[in-house]
Amino acid sequence: MRKTKWISIRRLKAHEFYCTLRYIRRTGVNWYEVYARLGEVQNKLAGRLTKMLSSILICYLLLVSLRSGSLISVTWSEITASVPVSYFSLFASFQVFFAIQFLQATFMIMLIRASESVKHGLPRFSANMYDLYRGQDEMALTVPILPYGFLREKFPISATLSFFYLAIILLMLVPIIAFSLFLLNIQIELLTQFHIGLLEKIATYAGIFVNVFSILLLGIFNVPIPMEKNSSSIRWGFLARLYPRASHPRAVQWLEKP
């Protein structure tokens, strides 16, 4: 009986990155280049996440202030322009999906970069201060991570501050989830209380699917799920390649007993 292991998809994707990074380092790329490149990726993701959160805020304000029944209407100089709420809510649902993707990616790159920051092997070298020196982290002097060498805290003050620091970052998920639930409420209301056309119904159902899938994806991606060893992939995808000029010594046994 194969042993079941509980591993999250997030952990597997991080492992995939480290395996790829191992090959990249063989080309002569040093720690400084890797760490700087990860900083560039992190800053780019953080910028895109900020834009997505701003887009969500704008969508919320438009729905709250301009919605009238099943339409969003804008009047200017006696001219009224309207768009069905179902279409706009579908667009907003995609904003939620991408915002969750960018938040997940930003969180993962922060964890990966934090793991890389302790691999330089230099005494009294601070990766955070290196970020500040390169202009990639202007807030490095305020991050409550203290790499003590000769001093030790009597109380876990810095660890507590670091926990709350991470919690504040994760709180960015709250407005995204809240807006997703807000959209779901509007979409269900459109289906139950208004007579809308076929295309609008399709857009509404699509928006509900995107919202529900986005929330489920966030949970499933980070929660450990049951997995088992893939013997076939290990044998033929890894072990067999160790013998490129001849077959593996146990190839016959593998064929006889899968």
pLDDT in tens, 73-126: 887 777 778 888 999 999 999 999 999 999 999 888 988 888 887 777 777 777
Indicate the pairing of strand 4-7 with strand 225-228: antiparallel
Contacts 24+ apart (CB under 8 A), 127-130: 127/35, 130/32, 130/35
Query: Can you give the residue range of the structural domain that contains 136?
Result: 4-223
| pLDDT of 188 | 92
| pLDDT of 3 | 76
- Assess if residue 139 is contained within a domain: yes
| pLDDT of 142 | 74
The percentage of the chain sitting over the pLDDT mark of 90, rounded to a whole number, equals 26
- Global pTM reads 0.81
Is 206 a residue whose pLDDT tops 80?
yes
| pLDDT of 117 | 79
Q: What is the mean pLDDT of the chain?
A: 83
- Assess if residue 13 is contained within a domain: yes
How would DSSP label each residue in 151-211? ---SS-HHHHHHHHHHHHHHTTHHHHHHHHHHHHHHHHHHHHHS---HHHHHHHHHHHHHH
| pLDDT of 136 | 77
- Assess if residue 252 is contained within a domain: no
144 touches 129 (CB < 8 A): no
Is 256 a residue whose pLDDT tops 80?
no
Structural domains counted in the chain? 1
| Residue corresponding to tokens 């269900």 | 188
Is 202 a residue whose pLDDT tops 90?
yes
* 146 pLDDT tier (thresholds 50, 70, 90): low
What SS3 class is residue 22?
helix
Measure CA 167 to chain center: 15
- Assess if residue 140 is contained within a domain: yes
- Assess if residue 195 is contained within a domain: yes
Distance CA 258, CA 250 (A): 12
| pLDDT tens column, 211-254 | 999 999 988 988 888 877 777 777 666 677 767 666 766 666 66
6 touches 223 (CB < 8 A): no
> Who has greater pLDDT, 162 or 198?
198
- Assess if residue 8 is contained within a domain: yes
Which burial class, exposed, middle or buried, applies to 87 when counting CB atoms under 10 A from its CB (0-12, 13-18, 19+)?
middle
User: Which tokens belong to 19?
Assistant: 């395996």
H/E segment holding residue 48 = helix 31-66
| pLDDT of 186 | 92
- Assess if residue 74 is contained within a domain: yes
| pLDDT of 212 | 93
- Assess if residue 229 is contained within a domain: no
| pLDDT of 48 | 92
